Structure formats: structure tokens, C-alpha cells
């Protein structure tokens, strides 16, 4: 079975409420104390804002109309206290929500990384790594924003608006009814905008991830870009992505800001109506201006929270789209999960056996067809054959990077499908044909093979891999940073470090996928001697790149078309007239009798 990961059936996540429910379920309990404090602060902001509007009646009537000097200081002092309290409450909620939001982002970053590491290699062959990283970076803040906007909107804006509406109703019911007439058309207009915005936001996130992914790939492959003068081609490609992303961003801006003219127009109509009615009452009814000023103050203070609430659905829609795309990744189930009764593998002799193994990548034609062979424990088995024969695929099946569609792979009689992947891979050391180094020092990269390895063991492994001398020649020796993917080192040096990383693991099974392909002749000879010593007592499966590797193998398996074509030692196979191996051997024989690289 091909190791493609799949998404499970899950609850409908199309609505904002469904996204919000999941976000709260996953994060609410951890931050209940912080959110409670933030809500108290937000309620304080709301109530002090409403108090400011309410007290305006006393300010106007008592200070200016009735001229009560004895009450002025009390009124002014209470206003000052309300503003101070609101300032500290606003600071408290802002800092608290920022701290909680940062923690949520950090937790989801770690959760996403851990989940991605649990997915099979098949998932990453479908999802380009650069684009995946860019998409995660674009969307991770969506989950934080969903929660923070909900808290601030409900505890601050909604409570503020309700309190101010209460002040308005208390002061004048007719004026309040005039204001309320704008609510239905405003709601309908914003609902229409939010629906249009949902699809545009998702498209924008995808397009931006394409742009960032393309830029990252160009930077990582800058040597190839320069060598093949690809600058203009890539610039044209990226330009088209940028133009598409820019157009989508402009559409989002138009949709997002359409609520501005709608809100402002309806608010202007409402305020004009209020002013006209209030002026009529003051001129012809002889009503004191205190209630009117209090009402207008409440109306003006209510405008901002009302506008934020009106735009809430628009902003929530954008945040929910980002959150949904993160959950699409988190909801992807690993197809290579361990069986419920999976056991720890026990390796003694380390005999590897392929029994009628068939494998294909996705829906493509099978790469391996009923493949059967035995790699004897403690011996070296070499795989040779033309390009496309399936040699590298065999190497990837042993550590269960992929699972076969048919057949079994056994180690000491144990089907590797029945054991835990972790225990299986702890018994393996792997060197790929393309060495990869991680950010950090040379010592760190070798120690990844076995985290508990001592410095002395790391240096011993480096000596076996013929890397010790060039490491000491580096500016900081073993503590020299290697740069991104070992950019400061040559290809041969990177390969020797990856070999040292495999050797320090001290595993009973060693997998070498053309491990000397990046080495020059002199380095290859030295490393091959070290590998010969390291192979002693281990089960080794090696893909032959040069015949110097094949000659010393205990068994050579010649593959063609995903099947075993020939099997034997170098001497026996080389002497078979008309055999595939004999033909390859003759083609690779150099005039001086040495062997050149196998294609």
C-alpha cells in the first residue's frame, strides 16, 4: 500500500461558529485564568466608557445650566478616575491577550511541526516543502485572531455598546429609535460582504504561499539559477504569481473596506436625524440640554464599538479561513500509523528478507514487481542495475518510508509492518545519495545520529568517515556552523559528515544509497576503507555507484525492471557470458583496468 496520508471525515468547518467552537475547545481551558482577567479588564473599559456618557447630563445641567459649583469638583474627579481606570484596564487586557495569543501561536507551531513529522514521506512528495512552510507561516495567526477577536468583541465592544445604548434609552427613547433604524440595512450589507470575502481570502492565502514558496526555492537553488542563467525565467514565473496575489489582495481590500462607506453613510443619516429632533425639542420644547448632550456623547462613543462589531464578521471570516487551512493539515491522518498491537523489534542476526514485494508510487506503474531476495545478517549485499531498476526504492522500504502494496519485508523473521516504526528505525543507520545537513555546528549534525553520543564517539565516527582532518581545519573545528544545508562545505565534505552521522548511530543495519557518489577518487578510497571496517559485523545494503563498492560485497543483486535479474558474487557474475552484470562490468572498465562510475 502506498504511504499516502489522507484526511479523515470531520465535522463541518465551513461556518465561523464551527471553527470558533473547535478553537475554544482546544485552547480555552489552558488560558481560562488569563481570559477571565482580560474579560474583567474589558468590562471595566466598557463600563467606564458608558459612565463618561451618562455623567455628561450632570456636567451640562449642574455646571452650566444650574451653576452648582459645589458639585463641579465631584463630577470632574469622577471623570478623571474613570479615565485612569479605563487606561489601566485597557493596558491589562492588551498585554494579557497578547501573551495568550503568542502562547497559542507557539503551541500550534510546535503541534504542527510534531504532526508533520508523524506524516509519511509520501505526504511531502505531494506537498512541496517550501510552499507548505509558507502556507503555515501565512495561516498560523488565524487561530489566535479567532479567539482574541471573539473575546474583545464580546467583552469590550458588545458590552460597551449595550451600556451606551442603555444610556441612550434612559435619556431619550425617540432619539434611540431613530438610531436603531439603520441596523437592519447595515446587517444585511455586511453579511453580503462577508460571504464574498470568504472565498477571496482562501485564494489569497494560497497565492501568497505560492509566491513565498517560489522565492524560497529560488534562493535555495541559487547556484543552479546562476549557472543556467535562469534569473529572467524565474522572474517571469514569480511575476505571474505576484500579479495574481496582488490582484486577489486588492479584491480583498475592496471587499473589506466596502463596510466603510456603508457604515459611515448610515451613521451620518442617523446622527443627522438625532440632531434635527434634538434641535426641535430644545427650540420649541424648552428641554434642558443636559439629556441631549449625554445622549449625543453616548451615541458618539457607541459609534466605534458599533463599527468594530459591524466589521467583526468580515475580520472573523478572514481569520476563520486561515484557521481552517491549519486544521486541514492537523486533520491529515498518517497512513503509516503503528498497529495497535505493534511490538518493539528485536534484532540479533539482522537478516533482511524481501518476499514477493510489489510497490508503486501513487497510481503509477509498479517500481518493484514480486521482488524477493535475502540480505544475510552481518554481511554486505549490493544492489546494482540500470537507472530506474528500483534500487533506491528497496532502500526506502526497509525503514518504512513507504509500505509495499503486496508482499512482506522481514528482519530476523519479524514482519516490519508488525513492529513500531520507532524501534525499527533505531536499529538502522541511513546514508542517502544526497547528503543533508541541518542548521547548527558540525558536532551537532554528527550527534543527530545518536543524541547521547559523547564527544569522543563523535570524533571516532568522524575519523572512520575520513572527516576528522578537514573538520579540524575549519575555523572552529567541530563547533563550526555549517550554514543552511551545509552551504559552507563541499559536496564531499557534506557526504562524509552524513556518513559519520550514520556511523555514530552504531546500528546493526546500515543502508547506503550511493553513499560515495559525491566523493572524489581519493576521498572515496579513504571512506570506502572506513566503511569496510564499519560494515564488519553489520548487515549492509548498499546501492553500488562505483564498482569499488561492489567488488567487496558478499552478495550482489542485479536488478532490472523492479525484479532480480541476477544474483551472486562479483567474480561469479562477471564471468557469466551475456549476463547483465558482465555487460555493465565491461562497459565500466577503464583502459587502465580500473572501474569507473556506474550509470
Task: Flag whether 343 is in a domain.
Answer: no
Domain-terminating residue out of 506, 532, 547: 506
Task: Flag whether 261 is in a domain.
Answer: yes
Q: Across residues 256-261, what is the average pLDDT?
A: 68
Residues 230 and 367 reside in one and the same domain: no
- By C-alpha distance, which of 418, 426, 423, 427 is closest to 336? 418
As a whole number, the mean pLDDT across the chain is: 80
Contact (Cβ atoms closer than 8 angstroms) between residue 448 and residue 486: no
Residues 502 and 514 reside in one and the same domain: no
Pairwise pLDDT comparison (536 vs 594), residue with the higher score: 536
Task: Flag whether 340 is in a domain.
Answer: no
**What is the rounded distance in angstroms from the CA atom of residue 382 to the CA atom of residue 544?**
6
CATH number at residue 485: 3.40.50.300
Residues 502 and 553 reside in one and the same domain: no
pLDDT grade for 7, boundaries at 50, 70 and 90: low
Task: Flag whether 370 is in a domain.
Answer: yes
SS3 string, 504-556, reads: HHCCCEEEEECCCCCCCHHHHHHHHHHHHHHHCCCEEEEECCEHHHHHCCCEE
pLDDT of 207 reads 77
Whole-prediction pTM value?
0.70
Residues 462 and 549 reside in one and the same domain: no
pLDDT of 434 reads 78
Pairwise pLDDT comparison (362 vs 5), residue with the higher score: 362
Q: Residue 406 is inside which H or E element, if any?
A: strand 406-411
Calculate the CA dihedral of residues 214, 216, 220, 221 and round it to 10 degrees. Answer: 10
Pairwise pLDDT comparison (141 vs 468), residue with the higher score: 468
Task: Flag whether 338 is in a domain.
Answer: no
Task: Flag whether 597 is in a domain.
Answer: no
SS3 string, 458-486, reads: HHHHHHHCCCHHHHHCCCCHHHCECCHHH
| 209 pLDDT more than 90 | no
pLDDT of 287 reads 60
pLDDT of 129 reads 63
**What is the rounded distance in angstroms from the CA atom of residue 140 to the CA atom of residue 106?**
9
Task: Flag whether 337 is in a domain.
Answer: no
pLDDT grade for 340, boundaries at 50, 70 and 90: confident
Q: How many domains does the chain have?
A: 3
pLDDT grade for 376, boundaries at 50, 70 and 90: very high
Convert the pLDDT of each residue in 519-532 to its tens digit: 667 767 766 766 77
| 372 pLDDT more than 90 | yes
Neighbours of 268 (CB within 10 A): 11
pLDDT of 10 reads 53
Domain-terminating residue out of 330, 365, 386: 330
Residues 198 and 178 reside in one and the same domain: yes
Domain-terminating residue out of 484, 506, 528: 506
Residues 386 and 530 reside in one and the same domain: yes
Residues 284 and 417 reside in one and the same domain: no
Highest mean pLDDT pick, 93-102, 300-309, 579-588: 93-102
Residues 538 and 580 reside in one and the same domain: yes
Task: Look at 69-78, 406-415, 431-440 and tell me which has the smallest mean pLDDT.
Answer: 69-78
Domain ranges, residue 494 = 437-506
Task: Look at 17-21, 373-377, 496-500 and tell me which has the smallest mean pLDDT.
Answer: 17-21
Q: Across residues 506-516, what is the average pLDDT?
A: 86
Residues 190 and 51 reside in one and the same domain: yes
Residues 234 and 284 reside in one and the same domain: yes
Task: Flag whether 344 is in a domain.
Answer: no
pLDDT of 3 reads 45
| 457 pLDDT more than 90 | yes
Convert the pLDDT of each residue in 157-207 to its tens digit: 888 888 888 888 887 787 777 777 766 776 677 667 767 776 677 677 777
Residues 69 and 213 reside in one and the same domain: yes
Residues 325 and 378 reside in one and the same domain: no
Task: Look at 28-32, 156-160, 208-212, 425-429 and tell me which has the smallest mean pLDDT.
Answer: 208-212
Amino acid at each position: 500500500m502506498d504511504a499516502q496520508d489522507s484526511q479523515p471525515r470531520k465535522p463541518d468547518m465551513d461556518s465561523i461558529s464551527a471553527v470558533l467552537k473547535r478553537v475554544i475547545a482546544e485552547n480555552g481551558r489552558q488560558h481560562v485564568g488569563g481570559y477571565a482577567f482580560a474579560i474583567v479588564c474589558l468590562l471595566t473599559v466598557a463600563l467606564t466608557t458608558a459612565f463618561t456618557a451618562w455623567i455628561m447630563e450632570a456636567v451640562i445641567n449642574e455646571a452650566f445650566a444650574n451653576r452648582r459649583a459645589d458639585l463641579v469638583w465631584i463630577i470632574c474627579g469622577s471623570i478623571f478616575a474613570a479615565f485612569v481606570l479605563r487606561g489601566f484596564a485597557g493596558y491589562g487586557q492588551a498585554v494579557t491577550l497578547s501573551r495568550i495569543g503568542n502562547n497559542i501561536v507557539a503551541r500550534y507551531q510546535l503541534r504542527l511541526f510534531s504532526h508533520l513529522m508523524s506524516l509519511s514521506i509520501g505526504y511531502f512528495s505531494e506537498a512541496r516543502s517550501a510552499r507548505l512552510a509558507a502556507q503555515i507561516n501565512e495561516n498560523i495567526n488565524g487561530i489566535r485572531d479567532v479567539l482574541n477577536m471573539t473575546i474583545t468583541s464580546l467583552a469590550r465592544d458588545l458590552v460597551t455598546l449595550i451600556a451606551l445604548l442603555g444610556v441612550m434609552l434612559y435619556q431619550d427613547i425617540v432619539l434611540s429609535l431613530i438610531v436603531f433604524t439603520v441596523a437592519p440595512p447595515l446587517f444585511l450589507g455586511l453579511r453580503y460582504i462577508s460571504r464574498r470575502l470568504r472565498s477571496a481570502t482562501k485564494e489569497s492565502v494560497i497565492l501568497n504561499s505560492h509566491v513565498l514558496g517560489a522565492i524560497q526555492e529560488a534562493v535555495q537553488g541559487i547556484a543552479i539559477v546562476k549557472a543556467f542563467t535562469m534569473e529572467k525565467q524565474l522572474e517571469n514565473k514569480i511575476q505571474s504569481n505576484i500579479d495574481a496575489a496582488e490582484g486577489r489582495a486588492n479584491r480583498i481590500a475592496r471587499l473589506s473596506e466596502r463596510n466603510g462607506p456603508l457604515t459611515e453613510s448610515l451613521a451620518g443619516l442617523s446622527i443627522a436625524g438625532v440632531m434635527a429632533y434634538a434641535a426641535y425639542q430644545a427650540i420649541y420644547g424648552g428641554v434642558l440640554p443636559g439629556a441631549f448632550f449625554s445622549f449625543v456623547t453616548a451615541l458618539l462613543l457607541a459609534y466605534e464599538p458599533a463599527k468594530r462589531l459591524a466589521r467583526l464578521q468580515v475580520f472573523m471570516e478572514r481569520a476563520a479561513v486561515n484557521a481552517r487551512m491549519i486544521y486541514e493539515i492537523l486533520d491529515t491522518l498518517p497512513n503509516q500509523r503503528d498497529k495497535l498491537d505493534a511490538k518493539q523489534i528485536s534484532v540479533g542476526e539482522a537478516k533482511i528478507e524481501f518476499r514477493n514485494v510489489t510497490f508503486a508510487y501513487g497510481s503509477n506503474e509498479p517500481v518493484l514487481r514480486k521482488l524477493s531476495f535475502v540480505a544475510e545478517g552481518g554481511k554486505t549485499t549490493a544492489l546494482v542495475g540500470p537507472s530506474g531498476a528500483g534500487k533506491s526504492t528497496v532502500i526506502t522500504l526497509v525503514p518504512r518510508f513507504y509500505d509495499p502494496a503486496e508482499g512482506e519485508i522481514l528482519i530476523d523473521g519479524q514482519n516490519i509492518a508488525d513492529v513500531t516504526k520507532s524501534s525499527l528505525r533505531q536499529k538502522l543507520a541511513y546514508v542517502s545519495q544526497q547528503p543533508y545537513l541541518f542548521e547548527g555546528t558540525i558536532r551537532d549534525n554528527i550527534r543527530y545520529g545518536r543524541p547521547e553520543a559523547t564527544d569522543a564517539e563523535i570524533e571516532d565516527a568522524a575519523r572512520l568517515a575520513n572527516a576528522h582532518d578537514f573538520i579540524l581545519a575549519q575555523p572552529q573545528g567541530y563547533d563550526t556552523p555549517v550554514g543552511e544545508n551545509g552551504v559552507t562545505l563541499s559536496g564531499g565534505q557534506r557526504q562524509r559528515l552524513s556518513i559519520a552521522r550514520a556511523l555514530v548511530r552504531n546500528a546493526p543495519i546500515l543502508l547506503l544509497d550511493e553513499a560515495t557518489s559525491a566523493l572524489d577518487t581519493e576521498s572515496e578510497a579513504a571512506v570506502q576503507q572506513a566503511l569496510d571496517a564499519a560494515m564488519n559485523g553489520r548487515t549492509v545494503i548498499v546501492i553500488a555507484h562505483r564498482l569499488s563498492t561492489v567488488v567487496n560485497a558478499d552478495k550482489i543483486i542485479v536488478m532490472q525492471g523492479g525484479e532480480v535479474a541476477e544474483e551472486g558474487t562479483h567474480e561469479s557474475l562477471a564471468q557469466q557470458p551475456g549476463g547483465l552484470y558482465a555487460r555493465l562490468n565491461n562497459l565500466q572498465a577503464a583502459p587502465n583496468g580500473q572501474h569507473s562510475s556506474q550509470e
